[in-house]
Amino acid sequence: MLKDVTIGQYYPTGSIIHKLDPRTKILFTTAFVVILFFINNLWGYLAVFGLLAIIILMSKIPVGYILRGIKGLVLIILLTVILNLFMTPGTIIASIGPFNITMEGAKIATFMALRLIFLVIGTSVMTLTTSPIDLTDGMEWSMRFIPFVRRFAHELAMMMSIALRFIPTLMEETDRIMKAQKARGANFETGNIISRAKNLIPILVPLFISAFRRADELATAMEARCYRGGENRTRMKQLVFAGRDVAAFVVMFVMVVGLLATTMINIPLLFPV
């Protein structure tokens, strides 16, 4: 499961999505995430599915590689679906023992599952198509428009970029520690929840030690290179909006208008709205 984590990884393919300005991708992803919470029917989610399918095809990233990131959220998605399915009052359509399944619960459960899946896929596409350096520059530029944050925009962007960059590294380190512990006879797959939690202690301790050591080495390396934050700092590559970015902003505008329009559609599809 640790190998299924795709957040923070960069998958270079040289596609037009990769060549977009990072600021464009950050704004596009932000608009996508916000508008995703306004969709209230399956017509909107079908439109989101089509949009994501086109973007993934244009990015040339294998679909299976992107879908790997959903495996780690299967339990969360199932728990969300079950809670909404049985806990939402409304018109009863089926009963399982003392629990009732309602039409409203089935609708909310479906929407929540789709929302979580599309949310993970949409944000994963941004990180998979943007290098850590470009992502840092884009986040720094974006945060300069937020009050009380613009003063620390560079430092915050750097911290978020480093955090994203070290997610795959920590996952690999965790996998190596687990294999080493299993070779010594550790068992992480049997027993109740409490015993499994206790068995994780031999993993967490060396993992924290390794993380602190990496952080100390990174800080030493940055100091050795005279890193002093974002003040008066220059860049080798300047961010410049190109024609493809203008086209992306047009697509963004059409996406927002189109998805908002779907919220007004009252055509029944599987669930009445």
Q: List pLDDT tens digits, range 110-149.
A: 888 888 899 888 888 888 898 877 888 888 888 877 777 7
Note the pLDDT of residue 251.
Answer: 86
- Biggest CA-to-CA distance, the chain: 67
Which H/E stretch holds residue 85? helix 74-87
Interval 231-266: pLDDT, tens: 666 666 777 788 888 988 888 888 888 887 877 765
Q: What are the pLDDT digits (tens) for 34-52?
A: 888 888 888 888 888 998 9
Domain ranges of the chain: 1-130+241-273, 159-237
CA atoms of 88 and 74, how far apart (whole Å): 21
- Per-residue pLDDT reduced to its tens digit, 200-236: 777 888 888 888 888 888 889 888 887 776 666 666 6
Instruction: Return the DSSP state at 184.
Output: T
Rounded CA gap, 268 and 34, in Å? 24
Q: What is the pLDDT of residues 172-189, one digit of tens each?
A: 888 888 888 888 777 767
Are 160 and 142 within 8 A, CB to CB? no
